[in-house]
Structure 1
Amino acid sequence: MSKITPCLWFNGQAEEAANFYVSLLPHSRVDRVVRSPADNPSTRAGDVLTVEFTLAGQPYIGLNGGPQFPFTEAVSFSIDCEDQAEVDRLWEVLVQGGGSHGPCGWLKDRYGLSWQIVPRALTKMLRDADREAAGRAMQAMMKMGKIDIAGIERAYKAKPAV
């Protein structure tokens, strides 16, 4: 068990969301579903209270807490992607069923949770000691929705105007 486990508050879709998320990434699984006991006056017997799941090796808890606290961009998850194929796959599957695309690699899934789909190549370019090249990569990324690695690389490698 992890010392710190993020808890995600859902409005009745914790089990559905956990099953969806674990289908996306390797080293992911649903670990436990905890259901309401028969004598709980605030829920129906058998309703899902919490779902413990592991996503890419990181433990999470999904809580069916109700509609009081929807997700905001103040909390989001960033997925480190190996290549453009992984960026493309995750970008499309995460918005299916009611999600929305955003700028700079950001999106919201059907549950309202924010994600940033980040190709490893972008991270490497942004950390480069050549700050001008890193700046060109950043400027290119700022104009994109889904990150296009080839487009970022073109900007990164571009010769500055003299």
Structure 2
Amino acid sequence: MALLTVFLTGGQAEEMANYYANVFPDGEVTDIFRTPGPDGDDMVVTASIRVNDTPILLINGPQHTPNESCSQMINCPTQEEVDHFWNHFVGDGGEEGMCGWCKDKFGFSWQVIPAGFMDCMSDPDPVRAGKAFQAMMTMKKLDIDALKAAMDS
């Protein structure tokens, strides 16, 4: 069985496909499905992309407002990669949230997580884990070095 991530885009499928293919170093647009529109011009129905060997389908559908009840998590191996994604999503018209959450310019939510984050949160010493958690609660973009320093304080 395979799972497919689907975004209902409210008419921005092709723009989103090109944007994500640019933001993700290994992203690529794999298909744009067009059909004749009511005025005779071709219209985009779906756009398909692949990111890190994961297929994503972007469907042009009715306008809607995305919310945080559904998000994508990016586990980044380095702080530099956290910075890359955060700076693109927020800097290109998105918005910062708390605790590693942000929205891209299309309103979709992302959790940008540095390597080692889950180890900090699940440290076997509850005092250290609590310190990491409290530090995280003050952060927008997560900083793994600051989390580790908080644990050791």
TM-score normalised by structure 2 residue count: 0.91
Q: Could you tell me how far apart the structure 1 residues matched to 2:144 and 2:4 are?
A: 32
**Structure 2 residue 74 is matched with structure 1 residue 79:** yes
Structure 2 Cα separation of the partners of residues 118 and 131 of structure 1: 21
2:42 is aligned to 46
Tell me how far apart the structure 2 counterparts of residues 81 and 108 of structure 1 sit (CA, whole Å).
Answer: 17
Classify the secondary structure of the residue corresponding to 1:47: strand
Taking a change above 3 Å as real, the CA distance of residues 109 and 44 of structure 1, as seen in their structure-2 partners, is farther
The change in CA–CA distance for 1:44 and 1:99 in structure 2 (over 3 A counts) is farther
- 2:143 is aligned with 1:148: yes
Deviation of 1:82 after TM superposition, in Å, equals 1.3
> Relative to structure 1, is the Cα distance of residues 49 and 157 closer, same or farther in structure 2, using a 3 angstrom cutoff?
same
Unaligned runs of 5+ in 2: none
CA–CA separation in structure 1 for the residues paired with 2:53 and 2:72 = 14
Match of 1:5 in 2: 4
- Give the CA deviation at 1:55: 1.5
55-64 vs 108-117, which moves further: 55-64
Match of residue 59 from structure 2: 63
Pairing 1:99-118 to 2, within 5 Å after superposition: 99-118=94-113
Alpha-carbon RMSD across the aligned residues, in angstroms, is: 1.7
User: Matched residues, percent identical?
Assistant: 35
Separation in structure 2 between the aligned mates of residue 87 and residue 55 of structure 1, nearest angstrom: 16
**Distance in structure 2 (CA, Å) of the matches to 1:133 and 1:94:** 31
Using the size of structure 1 for normalisation, the TM-score is 0.86
Retained in 2: the 8 A contact 1:78–1:117? Answer: yes
Alpha-carbon distance in 1 for matches of 2:148, 2:107: 31
Separation (CA, whole Å) in 2 of partners of 1:96 and 1:63: 25
Residue 48 of structure 1 aligns with an amino acid whose one-letter code is V
Structure 1's 70 and 44: CA in aligned 2 closer, same or farther, altered over 3 A?
A: farther
CA distance in 2, matches of 1:94, 1:137: 25
Larger CA Rg, structure 1 vs 2: 1
**Aligned letter for 1:31?**
T
